[in-house]
Each structure stands twice: as structure tokens, then as C-alpha cells.
Amino acid sequence: MKDKTIDYVLRTTWLAVQKMYNEEASKFESTMATGFTLLSIDPEEGTPSTSLGPKMGMEATSLSRILKTMETRGLIERKPNPEDGRGVLIYLTDFGKEKRGYSRDRVLKFNEAIRKNVPIDKLITFYEVADTINDLISNKKIYTNEVNNTKY
Amino acid sequence: MKDKTIDYVLRTTWLAVQKMYNEEASKFESTMATGFTLLSIDPEEGTPSTSLGPKMGMEATSLSRILKTMETRGLIERKPNPEDGRGVLIYLTDFGKEKRGYSRDRVLKFNEAIRKNVPIDKLITFYEVADTINDLISNKKIYTNEVNNTKY
DNA sequence: AAAATTTATTATGCACGCATAATAAATTGA
DNA sequence: TCAATTTATTATGCGTGCATAATAAATTTT
């Protein structure tokens, strides 16, 4: 494993998690992204769709299609936001609340399993390294000093 | 960051890396996956396409479409494997070799930047935790003990 | 050797996320 | 106030990866 690049490790580990979540979600006719979205919607009151992107770490434009699919499947309802003519409030249906419970269970179980099998200090280091990677990328410090097109 | 779930950290960090690689690749009319594939192909001799999936950590079926696109774009040639009537050997074109150099540069620069900014012991821990996550998933130890459909 | 199984590949459909462009409403500025 | 800008949303196209099914060649079994 240590001879692999950092991007390889990140990529394959994430793909494994994604695959696992999608396999689990398929057991209750759902998907990973739908599950994550359900968990980001307040089950008690209208959730402004603007709040979902930041919470889930993705672009609003990516969410739009997911929400549309979720509405088609009867998991949510989109209602106009009375306080903002552009905006939308998301409401979970009873069906959506049911699926949300299943998703919540899967996410909790996965995260518990990791915490039980990884010492806390190592987990903290893992988070720190992820933070550093995100910082390096968002600060654009990697490719800025003159792009090198050397051929190998 | 520490209040985020492990899957959230993995997902968003990988998405940031993917986005960065795609932005870089677009500067030389390529994509991330094409770059990774180019780097897995031996520039000197025919590469059996069977070797690519394991090396890149993905299914052969996923690669098939990527290779087709790469051939269409003139980066590679697929020739029948004389030693196996089912198989295919991949050859880089000169154009493919040129793009391979650009991709190699980007991957090296990224991994160097991380290594310069993350102490080696922390990086090792990062790899260890990733290993543990992959093990837990592939050993199916997370959801096997009676699926719990409790509603929340 | 013939039948059954496995392996390599392709095609197709779907999920997930970004980029870009369009539209409409809200906000800012002159 | 009216124009310019910003913000929220949707639509669309594309890249990336998996699942499934089909096909053909190789291997194993009988």
C-alpha cells in the first residue's frame, strides 16, 4: 500500500466506501447520494435547499438533479420559499422519513466500525492529513509556480 | 473538520483532488482518468489490458469505455493479443506519449507537495487508516451482524 | 473430444458530480 | 428609481465508475 500514490489511496478508499454505501442503499431501493441528502434535510421543518450544498460539500447545481429525482420518487416535496421568490424549501414525505432512518443506520454503523478499529490519535491524524490536502488544493499552491510541461 | 463523519472527509477530499486533476488535465485537452490510464500503460511495449484494472484499482468493464475513448482521440491503439484470442494489447501513440508526460508531471507534483507538507509518520498513519477502512469493507464486517432497520 | 466453466472484452444503463448556460428573483449602486 | 450585479435554481452535457448482460475465446472437467 505504501508504494501507492496518495491520490491512488484516496481514490480507491473512497470508491470502496461509495460502493459499500450503494450496495447497502440498494437493499431499501435507495442510493448513497439520496441517503446523504435525506440525512441533510431536517425531518421536522422546511429545509432551504441553499443549506444543503455547503452541508454536503457539493455544488448546488449537483444537488438540483438529485432533488428532482428524489421528488419524483416521492421522498421529498419542493415548495416555494415564501421569504425568497427564488428559493425552495424541502420537506420530507413520510416515505422519505422512513428511508432516512435506514440511511442513518448505515452511516452510523460504518462510522462506529471505523472508530472501534482505529485508535483515536490515528483517526485525528487522518483528519489532519485530509485537511492539509484540502488546504494545499484550495490555496492553489501545487501547480502555480510555472507549469512544467517536460516530456518523460 | 473533526465533527464531520469519516465518509464525509474521504468523499470531499477525494472530490477536491479529482477536481484539481481534471482542471489540470483540461489545460492539455485531457481528463483525470485518461491521465491515470496513460500512466499505467508501458510506453515501450504492448500492455495487456488485463493488467490495467488491477493496477488502477478499477473494474475491467470500467476501463473498456475509457480505452475506447482514448483510442478515438488517438492516444492509444488496441491490437489483438497474439497469445490470447480474447485479449487486447494497448500501445501508446506518439500523441499518447506526449500527453502521458504532462499527466506524469501533474501526478508527481501533487504527490511531492503532499509529502513536503505532511510529516512522514503522519502520512504513514494516513495510509494505515485507509488500509483499515478497506479491510473492514472487504471483509464485510460492518453490516453483517443482522441488519438493523430501526427508524429514527 | 465434447461439454461445462472461466476469462477477456464490449455494450448499455444508471448513479454521481462538475461545468456551463439560461432564467428569474433579490440586492446593490448610480 | 432604474440599471447592474449577485444569488437561487434548473437544464444539459460530459466524465468517471459500477452492474448487468452478451459474446467469444480459453481452460477445465468428464
CA–C1' distance A148–C5 (Å)? Answer: 51
- pLDDT at residue A144, as a whole number: 81
Which nucleotide C1' is nearest A82 CA? C25
Nearest Cα to B95, choosing from B67, B68, B70, B115? B70
Q: Read off φ and ψ for residue A87, nearest 5 degrees.
A: -85, 175
3-state DSSP of A24-45: HHHCCCCCHHHHHHHHHCCCCC
Under DSSP, is residue B90 helix (H, G, I), strand (E, B) or coil? Answer: strand
User: Which of B10, B24, B29, B55 would best serve as a mutation to test chain A binding (most A beta carbons within 10 A)?
Assistant: B10
Whether A105 sits inside 8 A of B16 (CB atoms) is: no
Average pLDDT per consecutive 10 residues, chain B (152 residues; last block may be shorter): 90 98 96 98 97 97 97 97 96 97 97 97 98 95 59 30
User: Is it the case that residue A151 has pLDDT exceeding 60?
Assistant: no
* Cβ atoms of residues B69 and B32 within 8 Å: no
Residues with Cβ within 8 Å of A14's Cβ and at least 6 positions away in sequence, in order, are: B10, B11, B13, B14
User: Which of B3, B20, B138 would best serve as a mutation to test chain A binding (most A beta carbons within 10 A)?
Assistant: B20
- The model's pTM is 0.92
Helix and strand numbers (H, E) in chain B are 6, 3
CA A111 vs CA A104, A106, A130, B9, B128: distances in Å:
11, 9, 17, 12, 16
- Read off the pLDDT band of A100 (50, 70, 90): very high
Cell numbers 432533488 correspond to: A67
Whether B10 sits inside 8 A of A15 (CB atoms) is: no
